[in-house]
Amino acid sequence: MYRRYLIVSVSIMLFVASLAFAQIDKIAIFNESVGWTTTDVAKAATDTITKNVKGAGSIKVYNDADIAKFAKDNTKDGNFDVIVIFGYFPINLYKPGNAEKDGSVGENFLQGGDMIFNTADYIFYVTQGGGANGDVGLKNMTNSNLDCWTDGATCKPTADGKKYAPSLPASFTAPRCIRMDQVEAEADWDVEMSFAESGTNADPAIIRNNKNGGRVGIAFQVSDDAMPRGAVMAEILNNYVGALTAVKPADKTTTTWGQVKGF
**pLDDT per position as a tens digit, 211-237:** 999 999 999 999 999 999 999 999 999
Residues with Cβ within 8 Å of 150's Cβ and at least 6 positions away in sequence, in order, are 174, 175, 176, 177, 179, 198, 201, 203
Q: Measured between alpha carbons, how far is 62 from 242 in angstroms, rounded to an integer?
A: 21
Residue with the bigger pLDDT between 220 and 4: it is 220
Query: What average pLDDT does the segment 190-213 reach?
Result: 98
pLDDT by residue (tens digit) across 95-142? 999 999 999 999 999 999 999 999 999 999 999 999 999 999 999 999
pLDDT by residue (tens digit) across 19-68? 333 479 999 999 999 999 999 999 999 999 999 999 899 999 999 999 99
Which pLDDT score, from 0 to 100, does residue 150 have?
Answer: 98
What single letter denotes the amino acid at residue 22?
A
Residue 136: inside a domain:
yes
The number of distinct structural domains making up the chain is 1
pTM comes to 0.87
Identify the helix (H) or strand (E) that includes residue 89: none
Residue pair 158/168 in contact (Cβ under 8 Å)? The answer is: no
pLDDT, the chain, mean: 88
Residue 16: inside a domain:
no
Question: 28 has which bridge partners?
Answer: 60, 83
Which pLDDT score, from 0 to 100, does residue 245 have?
Answer: 55
Identify the helix (H) or strand (E) that includes residue 84: strand 81-85
Query: What average pLDDT does the segment 76-103 reach?
Result: 97
Which pLDDT score, from 0 to 100, does residue 55 have?
Answer: 87
Residue 235: inside a domain:
yes
Q: Does the pLDDT value for residue 238 go beyond 60?
A: yes
Residue 169: inside a domain:
yes
Neighbour tally for 180: CB within 10 Å: 18
Four-CA torsion 234, 117, 18, 238, nearest 10 degrees: 10
Query: What average pLDDT does the segment 249-255 reach?
Result: 37
Q: Residue 42: which CATH number?
A: 3.40.50
Residue 3: inside a domain:
no
Range of the domain at 229: 23-260
Residue 206: inside a domain:
yes
Residue 14: inside a domain:
no
Residue 124: inside a domain:
yes
